[in-house]
Chains A and B, each alone.
Chain A
Amino acid sequence: MSSDLRRDDAPCPYPDYTPARRELADLPNTGADAEGTERRVWEAVYEVEDPEMPVSVVDLGLIYGVEVREEVDDTDAPRTTAYVEMTLTYTGCPARDMLTSDVEAAAASVEGVDRAEVVLVYSPEWTIDLVTERGREALREFGLSVPDPEGHDA
């Protein structure tokens, strides 16, 4: 049952971007150390909010990393691609396409970036502990109580 499934317009097989190996201790990542174009991508992505709550996807801890790479396209022309590693709060998230499209559009809008690609990652798995202090504040202001990482009510 291999070749019978192939279609001419199928996506390019074997993508070569391998997400970095991340430990829970390195998260949440807010891009605090990023510089140059990567810094600007972090800032653009920061503007994307959760569709249900007025809180940035960065403050929700959903963005695991940003990497800007110089590549060549199919015609050997140089291009700059922003790869955004991102996770979802749960696997059945119905806003998945909306979120990934918004993040991709934000990253692609940055000066010096030709195209952006969201790479969905699920390891380490997201938990409420990855919400930043700013995110907790935004959620509290919105009327949601968020337990602090030690498990006590904030």
Chain B
Amino acid sequence: MAAPTYQRADLGELDGAAAEALRTLLFRLADDELVLGERYIEWQVHAPTLESDLAISNIAQDEFGHARLWYDLLEDFGDDEPALIWERDPGSFRHATLVELPTRQGDWGDTIVRGYLYDVAEQLRLEAVAESSYAPLRERVGKVQSEERYHREHAQNWLERLTDDEPGRARVQAALDRLFPYALTLFAPVDEATEAAIEEHGFRTASLADLREQFLDVVVPYLESLGLDVPEPDEVERPEAVGRDGQHTEHWDALFEDMTHTYRELGRTSTTKLMEDPE
């Protein structure tokens, strides 16, 4: 199979629609990781035990690291980090609304359920770009996958513990009922034409519908094995805001304000560096 391969140097030759499709795919990866990381760090010094505090902080750090890998690739299109994150219009973020929802107060299970649903989707979508026609993207996938494995292990360990008795299971069930419809937004299209272009150019090798199918094949039997009832996917009411199309919940503006507060307060025009560039 002689699929075309694109390097960084080929970006200038991609036509407008193809370049936009690739950018959209990268924004989706980057924005999801960044925003989920922001929600995770709200647990710092509040998680149930010291070990879980360190673990969730470490997972957040990984997610920020992954976000950075994808934003790096977006910089190759000519945007710098302030433009891609700090000074960006919050309405142009493409993350799924699953990752922006506030954590239900004090509910560790809520974070664990969200993490599990996200991490499974993440695994599948990384597999779908592991053979991407865009070489700089696929060359970063292996490193991310090896780190994501620990995230799933973490979420599953906790899910098994939390569902071990009835009060715990009831709380996990409540979190699942709340979050499952939002998890399906991970597979919502930005728009049909862009999705078609992403597949046509081989930037991603599976369709969103395929990914959704694979996702359900993994999460439904696993969650059921823990004694949980998984909402019937096709009967789930779709949230009003899915994120991918630029529609967000009211919680996103507040989170974006928080996230960029220091940057604005200090009147920054660039992000902090430990050292000046050597040139």
Contact = CB atoms under 8 A, between A and B. Distances in A.
Interface of A: 1-2, 4-7, 9-18, 90-95, 97-98, 101-102, 104-105, 108, 115-116, 120-126
Q: 7 shortest A-B CB distances, which residue pairs?
A: A92-B65, A91-B65, A13-B78, A105-B278, A123-B139, A92-B61, A101-B275
A6 B80 CA distance: 8
B88 A5 contact: yes
Interface stretch (B6-14, B195-203, B209-217, B230-238): B6-14
Contacts of A115: 279
Contacts of B20: 2
A42 B20 CA distance: 39
Contacts, number: 107
A11 B88 CA distance: 16
Interface of B: 7-9, 11-12, 16, 19-20, 23, 27, 61-66, 68-69, 72, 75-80, 82-84, 88-89, 92, 139-140, 142-144, 146-147, 273-279
Contacts of A102: 275
A81 to B, nearest CB: 11
A2 B19 CA distance: 9
A11 B92 contact: no
Contacts of B279: 104, 108, 115
B142 A7 contact: no
Contacts of A91: 62, 65-66, 68-69, 143-144, 147
A97 B275 contact: yes
Contacts of A105: 278
B65 A90 contact: yes
Nearest to B273: A97
Contact of B11 (A5, A14, A95, A123): A14
B157 to A, nearest CB: 21
Nearest to A91: B65
Contacts of A18: 7-9
B62 A7 contact: no
Interface centre among B27, B69, B274 (most CB of A within 10 A): B274
